[in-house]
Structure 1
Amino acid sequence: MAAAKQIPLTCTGHTRPVVDLAFSSFTYSGDFFLISACKDSIPILRRGNTGDWVGSFQGHKGAVWSTRLSSDATKSVTGSADFTAKVWNNLTGQATITVPHSHVVRCVDMSPDGRYVLTGGYEKKIRLFDLQTDASRGPIRQLEQCDNIIKTALMDADNGLVFAGDGKMLRVWDLRTSAQVSFRQFDHDITSLRFSNDRGMIICTSGKQVFFYNALTSALVKSFTTTIETASASLHPDGSRLVVGGISDLWVRVYDWATGQEQEVYKGHHGPIHVVSYSPDGELYATGSEDGTVRLWQTSPGKAYALWEQQ
């Protein structure tokens, strides 16, 4: 399919590959924010609809592999190759909690209310921390049944569930009992797990496929086969389309949810796309790349919105 005309906003500031990013929900002021994780060790917080720089977090001594925001964007969490996870006060830019690990922290998650933090990585363990207690004393839950490096994991604190990508295995735990309640085997390693915007579905990428699972029952809702080895996928808030980034592909690809057909293809990055995510208002999606940039793309190219009003 030929690429439609699209002029993304390029967010510079990182000096190495951007490997993860996440949007907040809408804040009390109606704004939303975007945080990016990079191998340069410095996460960056931006305004979500414009990409304008808000602040950089100084403190990690190794690549930052993963990051998440609380819904109100007042807190963030990062996981790093320096064997730590850090919780940040986004209003001051200071790390409020540093949790040491015995190996690289590859993935983190934060509950929407900012109370709970989950970590996973080279230790092959999932750890859950309660920030209302003294998190430096250790996790309130530790799940140890994984056989491989945990590169991606999610927490549904409301329903007491944790989802983890353990190599080719998707594992689900019940946090109330610390028991593994289900697992699924794939043909290829799981490259990403993300919630849909309403948190009703888990979006899983593996090989050339994108899978959608009910977040409460773990039942398969739908699956898509793409033309690329997938690195990350995100579903539009209205459920009409999904955006996919590829492990070795330089193109951003948008698929129709109903038919699974590729609708749009855009070139902009100069390296593989590691992560993609729709904004909470659905007006744009962000992509993070090996080329060290974050780019913002319009869902409806040409629509007057944010900085695109000036073009």
Structure 2
Amino acid sequence: MGSSGSALRVCAGHRGGINWLSLSPDGQRLLTGSEDGTARLWSTVDGQCCALLQGHESYVTFCQLEDETAFTCSADCTIRSWDVRTGQCLQVYRGHTSIVNRILVANDQLFSSSYDRTARVWTVDKGQMSQEFRGHRNCVLTLAYSAPKDLPRDPCLEAAMGGGLLVTGSSDDTAKVWQVASGCCHQTLRGHTGAVLCLVLDVSSHTAFTGSTDATVRAWDILSGEQLRVFREHQGSVICLELTDRLLYSGSADRTVKCWLADTGERVCTFSAHRHSVSALKYHAGTCTRPGALHSIS
């Protein structure tokens, strides 16, 4: 989506709806996960499909593109990694007992969340689970990670936070902050009156932003658990979030994307070109002639 709200490129080929997209760091490739059980890799230059990733036995819920490896998760309870050059499946991660909602590759680890009410962390290369996080009373829908280097240097907390912090959002209306090394819950973030569908972290300020079916976005201090501010203006569930350059973008079931000042909660502008709920969005920095582009799907 450009500044005028017009589409820049259309990628067509999936036989079902697109549930998620992941843009490569250079902006040249786009990975999409679909209801048709496949993921596809696209060129953003011409919109052509570069690779078809087949193997899941049910729909793909989420995908992440990392250099030469793609990661997908599915309603078939598994996670898969793929070689994007050949389309070959490299690893299948098995252990969840229900739909895998989200995955995150960070710090040489793979994190996942599931309808089985757990989040898990896996070794990327061997596909083995190394930690399980239990405590949510309902489905774990979304997650984000803060690495040890981004956390304050505190000798009293060094052992507990040596593996970093994982933040999860659930349909039990809460978000939780977990110590990755121990699997213990560090904080429970309470305030939403609906399911927490999405979240992003500002690691520099140790702030989590959560979006919910209660139509609000909320900001939290993940160390203390304090609610910092509430972003109100959406008329429907907040489905996706993106944080860049101190601006927070939120996509909603009200068919809009809103841009906010992350530090104050002030709304900057609204994008309203979609005809259906906005299910995913991604900001990509452009050149000096075009400051940036916001990509979204509905």
| TM class by smaller structure | 0.7 to 0.9
CA RMSD between the two structures: 2.7
* One-letter amino acid matched to 2:23: F
2:55 aligned with 1:62: no
| Equivalence for 1:99 | 93
- When structure 1 is superposed on structure 2, of 274-283 and 143-152 the one drifting more is 274-283
| Equivalence for 2:281 | 276
2:210 aligned with 1:204: yes
- Alpha-carbon shift at residue 182 of structure 1 (Å): 0.2
Percent identical = 18
Check 1:103–1:221 CA distance in 2 against 1; reply closer, same or farther (3 A cut).
same
Unaligned runs of 5+ in 1: 290-311
2:28 aligned with 1:37: no
| Equivalence for 1:124 | 117
Check 1:280–1:46 CA distance in 2 against 1; reply closer, same or farther (3 A cut).
farther
2:49 aligned with 1:16: no
| Equivalence for 2:74 | 80
- Alpha-carbon shift at residue 104 of structure 1 (Å): 1.5
Q: Deviations over 1:62-99 (max 9, x none)?
A: 111111222xx222211101121111122221110011
Larger RCO of the pair (alpha carbons < 8 Å, separation 6+): 1
| Equivalence for 2:156 | none
Q: Distance in 1 between matches of 2:259 and 2:11?
A: 21
- When structure 1 is superposed on structure 2, of 219-228 and 157-166 the one drifting more is 219-228
Q: Distance in 2 between matches of 1:52 and 1:214?
A: 42
* One-letter amino acid matched to 1:41: G
| Equivalence for 2:165 | 161
Q: How many residues align?
A: 271
SS at match of 2:276: coil
**8 Å Cα contact 1:116-1:157 kept in structure 2:** no
2:245 aligned with 1:238: yes
Unaligned runs of 5+ in 2: 149-162
| Equivalence for 1:306 | none
* One-letter amino acid matched to 2:270: E
- Normalised TM-score (structure 2): 0.80
Q: Distance in 1 between matches of 2:201 and 2:15?
A: 28
2:147 aligned with 1:142: no
Check 1:271–1:175 CA distance in 2 against 1; reply closer, same or farther (3 A cut).
same
Alignment of 1:162-311 (within 5 A): 162-167=166-171, 168-185=173-190, 186-195=192-201, 201-206=207-212, 207-213=214-220, 220=227, 222-229=229-236, 230-235=238-243, 237-239=244-246, 241-247=247-253, 249-257=254-262, 260-267=266-273, 269-281=274-286, 283-289=292-298
* One-letter amino acid matched to 1:22: S
* One-letter amino acid matched to 2:69: K
**8 Å Cα contact 2:5-2:271 kept in structure 1:** no
- Normalised TM-score (structure 1): 0.76
